[in-house]
Structure 1
Amino acid sequence: MAISDSYLKSCLNKEREKVVEKSDRDGLWVRVSVKGAVTFFYRYRYLGKQDKMTIGSYPQLGLKDAREEVEKWAAVLARGDNPKIKRDLERGKIKNQFTFEELFREWFGVVCIQKESSPLILRSFELHVFPKVGKYPAGELTLHNWLMLLDRLSKAYSEITKRVISNTKQCYSWAVKRQILTVNPLSELTGRDFGIKKGMGKRVLDRKEIAMVWMAIDDSRLMERNKLLLKLLLFFACRLSELRLAREGDFDFVDGIWTVPAENHKTGRQTGQPILRPIIPEIVPLLKQAMEIAPGEFVFSGKKDEPMQEGNHLSITANLRQFMLKAYQENVPHFTVHDLRRTARTNFSELADPIVAEKMLGHALPGVLGVYDKYQYMDEMREAYGRWWARLMSIIEPDILEFTPRSAG
């Protein structure tokens, strides 16, 4: 005789002397404990042997739902699978389901950590991705979810958007290969879908923009360390990492030389050679001010024993643009700290020989020059940096006359 709701209600929480089991239909049974707890279970035969599995507890699971559950598992049995094992495997998948942040960090620790740019990649995701979608199951995030995030991100940060797309695609692809997920929702997505063109950066700040940026650095509420960092990046045309990892001992104010150890710059990891840059007197106050602020040996760090974290600079230029729009009513187009390096190099072309300009950037000389020319060009770089400082000051303070190279002949 089939079980009824009234029967279940009459049994619930009623103590009795012994356990009672009663069948319903299609293998559904109900068990009533001595304390009156009511539990549904499914009895079946698999490969000739009797087995059973718990379906759920009443009243959290109603009679109608319990019958539907039995129909579901009976269909599994009909396909030749053991319902209990199938159920346990499904529960295991749910239990082991990664959130996107968990999945990304798992992939990052196995694959991405080997990349030179890994700290920058992780910082981009910590700032722009994890707060938005990190807590959601990776397998349930759809292309639509990602498009909403990337559309917003691309309007402010084109390079970061490309970085997020590339590394998210790699993360999902890795998860699919490991059978953690079945689908890569970003597989067909590229930066072009957001109007981001592939290729070398072209942004160079003009004289008006240089003047406004320098003025905004002084007028804004940026941390003093970041203000000095931006000015020195524009002056030296160095890579951010070269200043980020710089120690006080790298700067020799007696001989006027900044030594960038091989491990602190891109070329040095291949050549094993440091970069030597001249320190002109005009730039000494900026460097010494940064050292006075620093709590330890790293010139641009807020921590005593650690360098400035890679990625801390990502929002600086965006904050400057917002400040200039609000304070000066000037909408300066998007630029990055690397664009400051490109801006300086463009000006170097007017102020120095091409070989000297490349040495100022810390580039290895091309071809035969790189093999045989071991001259450091220190005096030539010192003169060129002096000319560049003079030009900067003439841009920032129009009353200051810019150094003008003598014309040929």
Structure 2
Amino acid sequence: MATIKLTDAKIKTLKPQDKVYRILDADRLYIEVRPTGVKVWRFKFVFNGKESSMSLGEYPAIGLADARLLREEMRAKIAKGIHPVEDRRQAKQAIDDKLTNTFKVIAQEYAKERLKTKSERYAEQFQVSLEKDILPIIGNKDVRNVTSADVLTIIKNTMKRVRSQKNRGTGEVTAIQNRKFIGAVMRYAIATLRAENDPTYAVRDVVARPEVTHAKSLSKEERAQVRTRLENYGGAETVKNAGFMLLYTMLRTIEIRRMEWSWVDFDERVVNFPKTAMKKSRAHILPISDQVYDILKTQYDNSRNKKYVFPAVYKSDGMLNQMTLNRMLENLGLNDVSAHDFRATASTLLNELGYEEKWIEAQLAHADDNKTRASYNHAKYLIDRRKMMQDWANIVDSWST
């Protein structure tokens, strides 16, 4: 290794050669010139009787004065019994941990690894909860530093948000769900040795689940109001058509929102819902009545080039918002009617009219505990359900007369 007292001028004159060569400055600081032309500062040192070296950065990003200052800093560490290379590695690891040990990073890893077997709806709810309520509070926080106070803040904020939406909910169910989602991520972090405590445990009893309000069958007056007012609805045609699908089909709102054009078979007059789209993860067939056929043909002109039959009004690549149909009912002045009430109404009236209970249950997509029997009945009742659904659509239309 050549030894000269380096200056910036001298360093600039150093040219690359076929092999690496080094020029010593002073006190074991030298610059290494590589065949590529890259110039790297290196510092040789002895720690616990063992000689080592380390890089101090590239020239000219690290100038001569900076390199000498860094050398002195490394010598000071050695004097204190600190290995400079190990100290740098630990510092870098701390920075990496801060970036990769956040609640957001681990939550997304959890979703990828642990939600594979969950339904599409569950995974969607998890992501919505993260974006709306959880990540704004703890997303960038080291998962080890998430506290029960943080979880309590999220619970309170969630209930406040839900109540502000005037959707007949007080937010307890959503808040409890958010707490459970946070707990699942925290336990995953514990299992993967990145956290030690689950802060949701201490606040598990802060919010009590409200009593379940069961869907009700609409009165004769309410049936007439909803059919007549929906006919005259002045909002978006897609929302109006989705509203009529609720009346005619006995589908859940999530099933209407998720409906894709690839599932619609106009020739066979059915909509084939895959199991991933259904609440109970069972495939479902919707027979298309004349009224539903007309709705789908009209909607085809609106959204044929989109994935969803009933896409979001202001976001063409997404589905209708989960509150859109309830808001539609509010706009119709039906504040005491929920979308789920239509299913209850159809079930009640069809049972009263003497239709087979098993046809009605199949149309409601209520899961049979016996999977083999459920699959058999699913196909067996299709002809019967097709006639029943046409009768039901005619009954719905009679409400407006």
2:362 to 359, 362, 377: 359
2:156 and 2:234 mapped to 1: Cα distance?
A: 28
2:380 to 376, 380, 389: 376
SS in 2 for 1:114: coil
Confirm or deny: 8 A CA contact 2:275 2:284 kept in the other structure.
no
Residues 54-73 of structure 1 correspond to what in structure 2 (within 5 A)? Answer: none
**Aligned AA (1:133):** I
SS in 2 for 1:164: helix
2:351 aligns with 349
1:359 and 1:147 mapped to 2: Cα distance?
A: 42
SS in 1 for 2:215: coil
2:238 aligns with 225
Confirm or deny: 8 A CA contact 1:43 1:52 kept in the other structure.
yes
1:217 and 1:137 mapped to 2: Cα distance?
A: 50
C-alpha deviation, 1:232, in angstroms? 0.8
1:173 aligns with 187
Distance 1:174 1:308, change over 3 A: same
Residues 1-400 of structure 1 correspond to what in structure 2 (within 5 A)? Answer: 43=77, 50-51=81-82, 90-98=94-102, 100-117=103-120, 118-125=122-129, 127-129=131-133, 132-133=136-137, 135-139=139-143, 140-154=145-159, 155=163, 156=169, 157=171, 159-190=173-204, 193-197=206-210, 202-204=214-216, 206-207=218-219, 215=229, 219=233, 221=235, 223-239=236-252, 240-241=254-255, 244-247=258-261, 250-252=264-266, 257-260=269-272, 262-263=274-275, 266=278, 275-296=284-305, 298=307, 300=309, 302=311, 309=318, 312-317=320-325, 319-320=327-328, 323=331, 328=333, 331-332=335-336, 335=338, 340-351=342-353, 352-363=355-366, 370=374, 376-378=380-382, 380-395=384-399, 397=400, 400=401
1:372 and 1:321 mapped to 2: Cα distance?
A: 37
1:57 aligns with none
* Greater Cα offset, 225-234 or 382-391: 382-391
**Aligned AA (1:110):** E
1:183 and 1:268 mapped to 2: Cα distance?
A: 33
1:360 and 1:246 mapped to 2: Cα distance?
A: 19
C-alpha deviation, 1:193, in angstroms? 3.8
Could you list the per-position Cα deviations for residues 25-65 of structure 1 after superposition, in whole angstroms to 9, with x for gaps in the alignment? xxxxxxxx968x9899665767xxx44769xxxxxxxxxxx
Distance 1:126 1:308, change over 3 A: farther
Distance 1:177 1:211, change over 3 A: farther
1:364 and 1:345 mapped to 2: Cα distance?
A: 15
Distance 1:376 1:137, change over 3 A: same
Aligned length: 319
2:155 and 2:279 mapped to 1: Cα distance?
A: 33
2:129 and 2:186 mapped to 1: Cα distance?
A: 14
Distance 1:175 1:132, change over 3 A: same
Confirm or deny: 8 A CA contact 1:247 1:299 kept in the other structure.
yes
Distance 1:248 1:136, change over 3 A: closer
1:73 aligns with none
1:299 and 1:83 mapped to 2: Cα distance?
A: 55
2:263 and 2:91 mapped to 1: Cα distance?
A: 64
1:86 and 1:277 mapped to 2: Cα distance?
A: 60
Confirm or deny: 8 A CA contact 2:289 2:389 kept in the other structure.
yes
Q: Identity of counterpart residues, as a percentage?
A: 12
C-alpha deviation, 1:165, in angstroms? 2.5
SS in 2 for 1:260: strand
CA RMSD of aligned residues (A): 4.5
2:150 and 2:132 mapped to 1: Cα distance?
A: 14
2:139 and 2:238 mapped to 1: Cα distance?
A: 33
**Aligned AA (1:105):** Q
C-alpha deviation, 1:260, in angstroms? 1.2
Confirm or deny: 8 A CA contact 1:175 1:181 kept in the other structure.
yes
**Aligned AA (1:147):** L
* Greater Cα offset, 118-127 or 373-382: 373-382
**Aligned AA (2:321):** H
Confirm or deny: 8 A CA contact 1:213 1:320 kept in the other structure.
no
Distance 1:275 1:90, change over 3 A: closer
Distance 1:97 1:322, change over 3 A: farther
Distance 1:92 1:342, change over 3 A: same
Unpaired segments ≥5 residues, structure 1: 1-17, 20-32, 55-81, 401-409
SS in 2 for 1:136: coil
Distance 1:323 1:143, change over 3 A: farther
Could you list the per-position Cα deviations for residues 250-271 of structure 1 after superposition, in whole angstroms to 9, with x for gaps in the alignment? 3336x6x31415556549966x
